[in-house]
Amino acid sequence: KLNLGTLPDDLYFDDVPVEKWLALAEQSPSVDGAAAGCVGFPPNSLNQLVPLEPMVEIERIIGISMYMLGNVLPFALPPLIVGAFYSVVARYALFALLFYAGSFMTVHAVFFQPYFLKRYKRT
């Protein structure tokens, strides 16, 4: 019943009472379609994308890439490590893959993690 993309960041903390969430779900439909109420969402309100902040969008691009890379690495690393002993191409592919993964991890650890920990008041 809620369009979660339009909710303020203040509602995503542990100390926010559940009643605030339920109050939004029980409201009548608002102008921006944030709550559905009993009658559902307004017509054509679900076919619109809520724009993301640029920092959030960049973090999601890097975070999703890291997630997919983390799913591939356990299967790609062993053959590349073994192949690096026998082939120059495999060695360069291994270095490129490790550099690619390391650069994502560095950007995430140095920029995004401190930024979002501070923004959402996490330790």
Residues 111, 2: Cα–Cα separation, whole Å:
31
Residues 51, 41: Cα–Cα separation, whole Å:
19
> What is the per-residue pLDDT across 7-54, written as a single tens digit (0 to 9) for each?
777 777 778 888 887 777 666 455 454 555 566 667 777 777 778 889
Q: Judge contact between 60 and 67, C-beta under 8 A.
A: no
Q: Which of 6, 12, 8 is nearest to 48 (CA)?
A: 6
Residues 63, 48: Cα–Cα separation, whole Å:
24
Residues 116, 103: Cα–Cα separation, whole Å:
19
Amino acid at 123: T
Share of residues in the chain with pLDDT > 70 (%):
80
> What is the per-residue pLDDT across 15-26, written as a single tens digit (0 to 9) for each?
888 888 777 766
> What is the per-residue pLDDT across 79-101, written as a single tens digit (0 to 9) for each?
999 999 999 999 999 999 999 99
Q: Judge contact between 42 and 34, C-beta under 8 A.
A: no
DSSP state of 13: S
Residues 44, 48: Cα–Cα separation, whole Å:
8
- Please determine, for residue 65, whether its predicted confidence score (pLDDT) is greater than 80: yes
Residues 103, 62: Cα–Cα separation, whole Å:
10
Which of 46-50, 73-77, 103-107 bottoms out in mean pLDDT, i.e. has the lowest?
Answer: 46-50
